[in-house]
Amino acid sequence: MGIDLKTVSHIAELSKLKLSQEELKKLTKELSKIIDYINKLRELKLEKLKELELTSLRLREDKPSQTLSKESALFNAPIKERDYFVVPKIV
């Protein structure tokens, strides 16, 4: 099936991408390969496969354990103020 150059050009335009003719051709080939691969995956017969049973996973019991003291946690902090890490404001 694949995808044609006109469709890729339209998608690029909608995405506000300015692509050269060479880039459009390359992208068309790459997207065609991806679509062909997806179509191959759709042909697989998966009915006989068992569903993954997540209930069979063994998880450790959630038990409280020893934690770091404030002093240990802040020991290597580049900048600290009282009992807190100081980090740059990001807004």
Domain ranges within the chain, ordered by starting residue: 5-42
pLDDT at 55: 61
Which of 14-18, 36-40, 53-57, 72-76 shows the lowest per-residue confidence on average (mean pLDDT)? 53-57
6 DSSP assignment: H
pLDDT at 49: 73
Provide the 3-class DSSP secondary structure of residue 76.
coil
- Is the distance from CB of 27 to CB of 9 less than 8 angstroms? no
When pLDDT is averaged across residues 67-90 and rounded to a whole number, the result is 91
Q: Which of 86, 81, 83, 88 has the alpha carbon at shortest distance from 73?
A: 83
CATH dotted code for 5-42: 1.10.20
| pTM, two decimal places | 0.50
